């Protein structure tokens, strides 16, 4: 398995590269009024509207800094409508990948209910890397509103 590594503060996290569609530079997102603080906004990707979640805000409570290495990681995500969509994950210091084996991951032993997206841990010479469970990044209510509503709007526009 290949992990795409990013940071929240001083802590390392990883996303399974099989979930990654593309890694793009930070762009200005269209804000979403009344959205939770970890929703960075919407971006246009190859003609599709893609919601972007700020992983620094979600995990660490503070928005991602706009560094040269800050990126939007576009991942495959199954929405509430059971269709595959693209979700953007804004992350800092997206600079490396790490090859590892699935069997080398260990359970963290504790996961807070709000952190169900925090997966198993991998330990290397630099410390621990926590895997992000892409399917669990969005709370159920946000998952339904981001993708199911987009489908309804698209259907309504095509019907008129």
**What local confidence, expressed as pLDDT, does residue 157 receive?**
43
Question: Who contacts 5 (Cβ-Cβ below 8 Å, separation ≥6)?
Answer: 12, 13, 14, 94, 95, 96, 97, 98, 129
The pLDDT tens digits of the residues spanning 26-71 come to 988 999 888 888 999 999 999 999 999 999 999 999 999 999 999 9
Question: Who contacts 145 (Cβ-Cβ below 8 Å, separation ≥6)?
Answer: none
**What local confidence, expressed as pLDDT, does residue 145 receive?**
75
DSSP H helices in the chain: 55, 140-143, 149-159
**What local confidence, expressed as pLDDT, does residue 152 receive?**
54
For the chain, the domain total comes to: 1
Q: Which of 103-112, 116-125, 135-144 has the lowest mean pLDDT?
A: 135-144
**What local confidence, expressed as pLDDT, does residue 40 receive?**
94
Average pLDDT over the chain, rounded to an integer: 88
Range of the domain at 12: 2-159
Structure tokens of 56?
């620094």
The CATH number of whichever domain residue 27 belongs to comes to 2.40.50.180
Between 61 and 142, the higher pLDDT residue: 61
**What local confidence, expressed as pLDDT, does residue 149 receive?**
56
pTM of the entire predicted model:
0.88
């Amino acid at each position: 398995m290949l992990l795409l590594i990013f940071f929240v503060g001083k802590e390392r996290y990883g996303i399974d590269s099989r979930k990654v569609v593309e890694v793009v530079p930070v762009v200005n997102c269209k804000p979403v009024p009344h959205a939770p603080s970890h929703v960075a906004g919407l971006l246009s990707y190859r003609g599709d509207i893609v919601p972007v979640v700020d992983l620094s805000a979600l995990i660490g409570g503070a928005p991602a800094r706009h560094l040269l290495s800050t990126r939007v990681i576009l991942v495959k995500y199954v929405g509430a409508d059971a269709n595959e969509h693209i979700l953007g994950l804004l992350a800092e210091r997206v600079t490396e990948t790490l090859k590892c084996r699935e069997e080398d991951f260990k359970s963290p032993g504790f996961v807070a209910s709000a952190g169900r997206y925090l997966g198993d841990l991998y330990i290397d010479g630099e410390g621990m890397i926590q895997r992000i469970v892409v399917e669990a990044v969005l709370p159920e209510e946000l998952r339904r509103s981001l993708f199911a509503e987009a489908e309804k709007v698209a259907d309504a526009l095509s019907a008129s």
